[in-house]
Amino acid sequence: FVNPGLLFSWVSDEVFRKPTFARFCSLLDNYNPNEDYKEVVTEEERQEQAAFIEEVSRTAVIKYLVIKDVAPGSYQEFKRMLTSLWFDLYGRGGTSGSSSAFEHVFVGEIKQSGGEQVSGFHNWLQFYLEEAKGNVDYQGYIFPRRRGEIPDSETQLLTIQFEWNGVLKSVSSTLVGVSPEFELALYTMCFFMGREENHIQLS
């Protein structure tokens, strides 16, 4: 691992004023990170989920999935499916209703079994906000394997190590600087491709 310190030195406030970014960030404090904690979803949180899905569904990248028949059904059915896919609760770590795809991928969880470790937590906005609060200790990146290049300000896919609330995430990949709708569309597309490994070229 190379170059420990802060991962982010600065992110413009303009980013958080963009509608999909603002709706996304409103969801990040809706979860208890402990994997054995049964989540309780309030009506306000359901409204935040609905507002986020509505906002991202207006974007070209989400509409692309409907146009290209990546997901089945009508536009309205697709929005309902997105809500269910990302926000329905399921069991993890032996506790029912303790997790959702959104919490795992974007927010992060702390596994208790077999020693504490961070699970999920792949979103750069969550990382930036948690680092700004002092909850994340960034411990460096791994050199990109194939390209043999050093990450710079233009690099978007990083493999990093960090501690979150004192718990280690030894290896994590994150796409830096992308929009919430881009990540949601990308991972939803992978889900519908239905394979264990999906090879995607980002350019």
10-67 pLDDT, tens digit per residue, is 899 999 999 999 999 999 999 999 988 899 999 999 999 999 999 999 999 998 888 8
Residue 90 vs residue 113, higher pLDDT: 90
Dihedral sign, Cα of residue 99, residue 88, residue 120, residue 132: negative
User: Active site includes 199?
Assistant: no
Dihedral sign, Cα of residue 169, residue 88, residue 36, residue 23: positive
From the candidates 68, 79, 169, 199, which is the catalytic residue?
169
Q: What is the pLDDT of residue 200?
A: 64
pTM score, whole prediction: 0.88
From the candidates 38, 79, 104, 199, which is the catalytic residue?
104
The tokens 């692309």 sit on which residue?
Answer: 64
**What b-and-e string marks burial along 47-73, b requiring 16 or more CB atoms within 10 Å of the CB?**
ebbeebbebbbebebbbebbeeeebee
From the candidates 18, 63, 68, 122, which is the catalytic residue?
122
**Partners of 138 in the β-ladder:** 162
